[in-house]
Amino acid sequence: MFQGIRSFAIDCAKRGRLYLNDRGYDFHPVDQRCWDDQAALLQGRKNPVVFDVGANGGIIATQYRKMFPDCRLYCFEPQETFLPSLQSRFPNDPAVSFHSAAVGAASGKARFYLTAARDSSSLLSAGHANAPESYRRILTVTEEKEVEVITLDDFTQEQKIERIDILKMDIQGGEYAALEGAARLLSEARIALIYLEASFVPLYASHPLLGDITKSLARYDYTFHLLYHLTINGRSGRMLWCDAIFVSPELYTVSREHLKKSWGGNGA
């Protein structure tokens, strides 16, 4: 098993990058397939609606705008310090809107924990005992503040948005709660594709993991498509987190056929 992890790590190093930290290094493979797969799964869809939840400085939002020039893009980011950078990427673009709010299980106000590494800030408090020691410094909470929280169900109903073609979420452990706040959308299969970050180990207090997310989405017949950007601790070989795509029932066959072609499997 260790040899398998070592081989995978070497491959990651060849086609990805190493992230150095205080006590070691992690492997962050660069995986273009996450974009190729989303484009293939939604091929031919006109005027797709994209939600970028946890938009940060707008790098991923820019990627979606290039991939889908006719998309309607909604960016959600509770950290005000990121908003100028985010907005500057889309000057006078009427197809992009910005919402200074977190997305969660219930609308209202909530405590937001700002960490030493601002892109690791979360609605969940950092400091879980099982978090790798090398991450405890960047996850140190430096400030707490109250932020506006919305649910996807409430937002889409208020904005009269009938569907979400891509729901991207990178909100540091808050993905599970955001899905709880989208129960109506999920039960009606009105989200076609979900692309999110998920963890194998808890980095925050009460941090839901990949298995929790998979089980939650299975209740609505959403199925797992593929993992991307697997991050591995270079000292222990421990899997830390990844990105994952899940698809609605309408994309199930498309997903399996695409996997069959791209991986040479049987598409089961």
Please, are residues 209 and 200 in contact by the beta-carbon 8 Å criterion? yes
Residue 2: per-residue pLDDT: 35
Count helices and strands (H / E) in the chain.
9, 12
User: What value does the mean pLDDT take over residues 227-250?
Assistant: 89
Confidence of residue 23 (pLDDT cuts 50, 70, 90): very low
How far is residue 218's CA from residue 240's CA, in Å, rounded to a whole number? Answer: 23
Phi, psi for residue 84 in degrees, rounded to 5: -60, -45
Residues 6+ apart with CB under 8 A from 215: none
Confidence of residue 136 (pLDDT cuts 50, 70, 90): confident
Percent of all residues in the chain with a pLDDT value above 90, rounded to a whole number: 73
Residue 4: per-residue pLDDT: 41
Strand ranges for 38-132 from DSSP E: 49-53, 72-76, 96-99, 102-103, 108-115
Residue 126 has pLDDT above 90, yes or no: no
Please, are residues 20 and 28 in contact by the beta-carbon 8 Å criterion? no
Confidence of residue 233 (pLDDT cuts 50, 70, 90): confident
Residue 157 has pLDDT above 90, yes or no: yes
Give the class (CATH, top level) of 2-263.
alpha beta
Enumerate the domain spans of the chain: 2-263
How far is residue 189's CA from residue 96's CA, in Å, rounded to a whole number? Answer: 24
Residue 265: per-residue pLDDT: 53
Closest CA to 96 of 121, 125, 116, 66: 66
Confidence of residue 128 (pLDDT cuts 50, 70, 90): low
252-263 and 33-41 helices, crossing angle to 10°: 140
Per-residue pLDDT tens for 51-110? 999 999 999 999 999 999 999 999 999 999 999 999 999 999 999 999 999 999 999 999
Closest CA to 121 of 149, 143, 105, 152: 143
Residue bearing the bigger pLDDT, 106 or 131: 106
Residue 152: per-residue pLDDT: 98
Eight-state DSSP code of residue 40? H
Residue 82: per-residue pLDDT: 93
Is the pTM value of this prediction over 0.85? yes
Per-residue pLDDT tens for 93-109? 999 999 999 999 999 99
User: What value does the mean pLDDT take over residues 109-123?
Assistant: 95
Confidence of residue 125 (pLDDT cuts 50, 70, 90): very high
